[in-house]
Structure 1
Amino acid sequence: MLINCDKFFINELQKEGYDLDYKKLIEIYRKSRESDGYQKRQSQKRKMYGDSE
């Protein structure tokens, strides 16, 4: 799932008590793409659909 992270979304997160800004949210997202679980899932997708991605 991809989320459109604009200033309005960030503002709503901050109103709900999350201490995030755009830079921090992108940092978290990029770190999640490096996780073992994500890498494993991507590897399985490549095997299933081929290396066309």
Structure 2
Amino acid sequence: MIGLAVALLVLALIAYVLGARGIAGFSMEIARWLVIIFVILAIISFFMGAFNV
């Protein structure tokens, strides 16, 4: 999931440089949500592993 977020971030940067600001903003929003979901799932996974006795 984090790889997809990085790919969308690179796409957003390339689109911004080429002048497609709408696509760049949309890609950045998707990348931001993917990073947020990744962090939440990583925290949940950490706590599930920490309490698994």
Classify the TM-score, shorter chain: 0.3 to 0.5
Greater share of residues in helix:
2
Higher relative contact order (CA 8 A, sep 6+): 2
TM-score normalised by L of structure 2: 0.33
